[in-house]
Amino acid sequence: MFGLGKKNKKATAVAFVDYEHWYYGYRNKFQMKPNIEEWIEELNDEYDMKKIYVFGDFSRYNIGTDLDRVKGITKNVVHTASAKEGVDKDFTDVIILDAIYRNAAEKNSEDVYVLFTGDAHFTKVVEYLKELDKKVVIYGVKYSFSNQLKSAATSYVEMPRQSQEKNHYIDLILGSLSRFRNKPKTVITYWKTVNNVADYNHVPNDKVKIALDNLLKQKYICEEEMLGYKGQKMSVLKPDWERLEADGLWDAGK
């Protein structure tokens, strides 16, 4: 009876987030923004989260717009901007590393260390934490994630997950189609949609095409023939908005 209670008890955990890695990795590789709220909810489901630290140079406008949002999630936000000339991204890494070592030195440090970073600079601290019998879980942005760091971790997760990336492109497609709903004279074809979504959002055409093909395959969008202005036949896209909304793929309030 008592053994069962212990078995179900969540391990204590602390998280250290390199927000620059997450923000710029998502923006440059996927044209996405960090889904930090969803990620923290996932951590809370798995662990007894004691502390979440977020580090980054928020002095630049683009990443700076996320500062208030992040502060609303955790009080432990460390702004790593430096006034010194020539200070680069490594400065943020040094501050994060110092925080990890300090936390590990505490008498009752957590069982699990969750790191969100892809930098090989963190390999040594990961090895050190494992020597202390800590479990080290590392999240990193796909295509910006050191193989050396992956190998050092107890386990790792490449972000965004395939499902998250897929949903992102679905959102872009449906957002584009929605903008033309009240423009009956606008003809929306397959390739016009692929190219418009790719150009408007600065994303790869092939990624948009794969997502649109899946929507067509699942009958969320159909192609119907109609006559063009000069009498020529053309196939146009017709989304099933009611089904999209019912299945949670589209929010009519968007």
Cβ contact 78:95 at 8 Å:
yes
Q: How far apart are CA 132 and CA 105, in angstroms?
A: 10
* Domain boundary pick from 126, 160, 194: 160
pLDDT at position 1, please? 43
Segments forming the whole domain that contains residue 189: 163-246
Domain check: are 52 and 123 in the same one? yes
Tell whether 209 and 167 lie within a shared domain: yes
**pLDDT over threshold 50, residue 86:** no
- Residue 102, CB half-sphere, CA atoms under 13 Å: how many? 8
The model scores a pTM over 0.85: no
Count of structural domains, the chain = 2
Q: Tell me the pairing of strands 233-239 and 221-227.
A: antiparallel
Among 135, 160, 185, identify where a domain stops. 160
Residues 145 and 105 both lie in one domain:
yes
Q: Is residue 251 part of a domain?
A: no
What is the average pLDDT across 58-65?
Answer: 90
CATH number at residue 184: 1.10.10.10
* Pair 150, 217 in one domain: no
Section 137-149 average pLDDT: 96
What SS3 class is residue 172?
Answer: helix
When pLDDT is cut at 50, 70 and 90, the band that residue 181 belongs to is confident
Confidence at residue 11, expressed as pLDDT on a 0 to 100 scale: 96
The pLDDT of residue 7 is above 90: no
Within this chain, do residues 150 and 241 fall inside the same structural domain, yes or no? Answer: no
Percent of the chain with pLDDT over 70: 91
pLDDT at 204: 86
Q: Which residue has the tokens 């494992």?
A: 130
> Residues 155, 176: one domain?
no
pLDDT of residue 228: 66
What radius of gyration, in Å, describes the C-alpha atoms of the chain? 23
Task: Identify which of 31, 22, 23, 41 has the alpha carbon closest to the alpha carbon of residue 165.
Answer: 31
Cα 97 to Cα 117: distance, rounded to the nearest angstrom: 11
CA-based nearest residue to 43, from 78, 22, 13: 13
| 253 within domain boundaries | no
